[in-house]
Amino acid sequence: MVFDDHPHEECGVIGIFAPNEDVARMTFFGLYALQHRGQEAAGIAVADGQAISMHKSVGLVSQVFTPNTMAELNGDYAIGHTRYSTTGSSLLRNAQPFMIETIHGPLALAHNGNLVNSAELRNELMQHGVGLSSSSDTEVMTMMLARNGGATWEERIRTAMSKWIGAYSLVILTRDCVYAVRDPWGFRPLCIGWLPGGGHAVASETGALQTLGCEAIRDVQPGEVVSLSNSALKVMQALPPMEPSAMCVFEHIYFARPDQTWDGLNVHHVRQKLGEELAKEISHRRGSDFGDVVIPVPDSSVPAAIGFSHVSGIPYNDGFIKNRYVGRTFIEPTDSLRKRGVALKFNVIQENVLDKRVVMIDDSIVRGNTMGPLVKLLRNAGAKEVHVAITCPPIAHPCFMGVDMGRQEDLIAHRRTVDEICCHVGADSLYYLSAEGMMRAVGREDGFCQACFTGRYPIAVDLPNVKTGFERGTK
């Protein structure tokens, strides 16, 4: 994706059991609501009690599916996937769901997350003569399920879970059931809801479930396997949940849609609180008279800028207008357009920043390659001063649990101090929210993974092995 300096979520998943409904169409609209979690490939697999049919391809959900492809997908059970990845010929090969025929019947699987021990599991499979066609840990998981002993799929899933280490929120489709599976740490989200016409749906975010009209939504708990094949849900606690849990705090900061709610915490509200905490911390250090206008980098920083303005008393206004879809095109810009950099993605409303001390709110700086151009855009538009305020601590450590932030040496906060980053981006000042402030905003002291800020990983990671095991854009 061009001109973007955010962490990238690996994907969104959805699973539906809805007797006598057009589940493929329902899955399509659910995937639409999850499009922000991955824009580069999408797929739907549907089972009719006997066989599984599937369509997947590269592109946005609206590009991948047509009335003709949807007409082939019939049944009462479905899973879907929308995927983020970066480049290349391997895109289609790694698109999901991943489907195989097994001795127990057809099996399809869609995954959000990343196993930290996939290299070891791959070796084990290959030593048993299993051939693998991709570098994806999703294929490894599917093959392990296919060859595990056990009388039922629940047993085979439980056995596999005892060997999987890392982040996995899965939807699994067999000929007559959808299973929702979440790792014992609860890294990546997965929610379940009751469909008004009967049946159930699971998805990465509640927004997708609301789109389908779901009621009584709850989280799939860490370590749970939930079977969707009947009017009643079947819930199995396959592994004990880890204490404390380790949900990715970045879901609140950046990934999730603002209408998402977890544990009673609405994402928009949390982002507003992140802005409030940031304003309190900055005011404490330098008083409140340091800006004339607060502007967000759209879209995810809008609630934080509202909160910041509320506490600091500095008026909120729009400063950037985002050309929303430019980063999501497969048509590469020409050299002369590329030179325009972030200016291709953002226009400045000059009247709102001219001769003003601008406080620009953003949710994160990863590599540090777009913040400088954004500051420059504001200065070119006549801003008198530009102060940058970030609603999380510096990201100095890579993620091995399914979020693409690049390698440690790519992270600007790993290589430079805050003052050096400020100088690098050309701002008058730069502030990051403290880890304590971030946790106050999410309303809990623990239960969240914060490893990209602290370097303290909730699971033991064998760094050299994991670094080569996680191939960017191959999953």
Active site residues: 11
306 belongs to the binding site for ligand SF4 (CB under 6 A): no
Cβ 174 to ligand SF4, closest distance in Å? 29
Cβ 451 to ligand SF4, closest distance in Å? 4
- Encoding tokens for residue 359? 């406080």
Residue placing its CB nearer to ligand SF4 in the complex, 3 or 250: 250
Residue 10 CA to residue 5 CA, distance in Å, equals 15
Cβ 435 to ligand SF4, closest distance in Å? 11
431 belongs to the binding site for ligand SF4 (CB under 6 A): no
Rg of the chain on CA atoms, in Å: 23
84 belongs to the binding site for ligand SF4 (CB under 6 A): no
From 115, 165, 421, 451, residue interacting with ligand SF4 (rule: CB under 6 A): 451
248 belongs to the binding site for ligand SF4 (CB under 6 A): yes
442 belongs to the binding site for ligand SF4 (CB under 6 A): no
- Closest by alpha carbon to 342, among 358, 357, 323, 329? 323
Residue placing its CB nearer to ligand SF4 in the complex, 107 or 449: 449
- Encoding tokens for residue 148? 């595990």
Residue 284 CA to residue 433 CA, distance in Å, equals 12
240: exposed, middle or buried (Cβ count in 10 Å: 0-12, 13-18, 19+): exposed
383 belongs to the binding site for ligand SF4 (CB under 6 A): no
- Encoding tokens for residue 293? 């206008």
Residue 435 CA to residue 394 CA, distance in Å, equals 9
According to CB under 6 A, which residues from 393 to 422 bind ligand SF4? 399, 401, 403
Cβ 450 to ligand SF4, closest distance in Å? 5
371 belongs to the binding site for ligand SF4 (CB under 6 A): no
- Encoding tokens for residue 264? 């009673």
From 449, 459, 461, 466, residue interacting with ligand SF4 (rule: CB under 6 A): 449
Cβ 327 to ligand SF4, closest distance in Å? 20
User: What's the sign of the alpha-carbon dihedral 417, 423, 427, 429?
Assistant: positive
Angle, helices 137-147 vs 153-161, to 10°: value is 130
Cα 253 to Cα 98, 129, 260, distances in angstroms? 30, 43, 12
450 belongs to the binding site for ligand SF4 (CB under 6 A): yes
452 belongs to the binding site for ligand SF4 (CB under 6 A): yes
254 belongs to the binding site for ligand SF4 (CB under 6 A): no
Cβ 408 to ligand SF4, closest distance in Å? 12
From 3, 153, 164, 250, residue interacting with ligand SF4 (rule: CB under 6 A): 250
Residue 88 CA to residue 134 CA, distance in Å, equals 13
Residue placing its CB nearer to ligand SF4 in the complex, 64 or 167: 167
Residue 171 CA to residue 79 CA, distance in Å, equals 6
According to CB under 6 A, which residues from 168 to 227 bind ligand SF4? 187
74 contacts 104 by C-beta, under 8 angstroms = no
Site for ligand SF4, rule CB under 6 A: 7, 187, 248-250, 399, 401, 403, 449-452
